[in-house]
Amino acid sequence: MTTRKDFTPLGSKEERDFLEGPRTRWKEFKFLFKVMFEFFYGFRRLHFTGPCVTVFGSARFDEGHEYYTLSRRMGQEIANLGFTVITGGGPGIMEAANRGAKDVGGISIGCNIILPKEQHPNKYLDKWVDFDLFFVRKTLLSKYSYAFVVMPGGYGTLDEFFEALTLIQTGKFLKFPIVLMGREYHANLYNHLQRLVQEKTIDPIDLELFLFTDSIEEAIHHINRYAVEGFGLKKIKKMKPRNILGEWR
C-alpha cells in the first residue's frame, strides 16, 4: 500500500518552507520579493504577445496519440483565427498546440514551470518564460487570454479548468469562452457536474459557462463568437514594446 511518506516532495525547499507556516520576517520578505519579481518579469515578457488563447492539457500524450493530433489541429485553427497560442510550454498536449500554431505561421508562447520532470520547454515555442512558482504561472496563463481550451489531462489540467470556471462564475473574470474538448475522455466529469446541479451546489446556468465538444469547428466558432466578436478584439490598440523594460517584440 502506498502511503504519503512514499512520495518525494516536489518544488523548491523555499516553497516547502513557506507553506509550513509563519517564518522569520526576513524570510517572509524575501519570499514576497521573489513573488513580486516573478510577476513583474512575466508581465514585462508577455505584455506584447497579442490576444492569446490558452490551451491546457497533459504533458504525457506523445506524438501519434489521438489527443496530440487533436491538440495540434486546435493550435492551427486558433492561430488561423489570429490568436497567439499560449500553453504551459512543456511536452504532450502543450507541445502539440504550440506546434500547430507554428504549422500555420502563428505565434507560439510558453509559460514553463521548473520541475524535476517535464520541465523543459518544447521546441515549437517562439518565446517562453520560466517560472518557479505555480500560482504565478497560472495567473500569467490566464491574464493574457481571451479563451481557454481544455484538452484531456490530469490533476493540473483539471485544476486550471476549474479555476477558470470559478473565476468566471464568481465574476472575478469576464465571461471568456471555455472549451472542454474530449466528450469520451471527460464523460464522467461532465456527469459529475450534472450531479452538482441536481444537488444544487451549482446552478443549471453554470453548465453554460463552457462548451463541451469533440468538434474543432464548433470550438473555433464558439471562440470567434464569444472572444473575437464578444470583446471586439479587432479594435485593440497596438502599443510598441520597450526593450529597456524587458518587453518582447
Instruction: Supply the pLDDT for residue 236.
Output: 43
Alpha-carbon radius of gyration of the chain:
19
Q: What is the mean pLDDT of each run of 10 residues along the chain (249 residues)?
A: 53 68 86 93 89 96 97 98 95 97 96 76 94 91 95 96 96 95 98 98 97 98 93 59 59
Enter the C-alpha cell of residue 155: 490533476
* Domains, the chain: 51-234 (3.40.50.450)
Burial class (CB in 10 A: 0-12, 13-18, 19+), 136: buried
Res 246: pLDDT:
60
Specify the length of the chain in residues. 249
Residue 237 pLDDT = 45
Cβ–Cβ contacts within 10 Å for residue 106, how many?
22
pLDDT at 116 (0 to 100): 67
Per-residue burial over 142-154, b = 16 or more CB atoms within 10 Å of its CB, e = otherwise: bebbbbbbbbbbe
Q: What is the pTM of this model?
A: 0.87
* pLDDT attached to residue 235: 45
CA distance 35 to 39: 6
Amino acid at 14: E
Each residue's pLDDT tens digit, 13-61 = 666 776 777 888 888 899 899 999 999 999 999 988 889 999 999 999 9
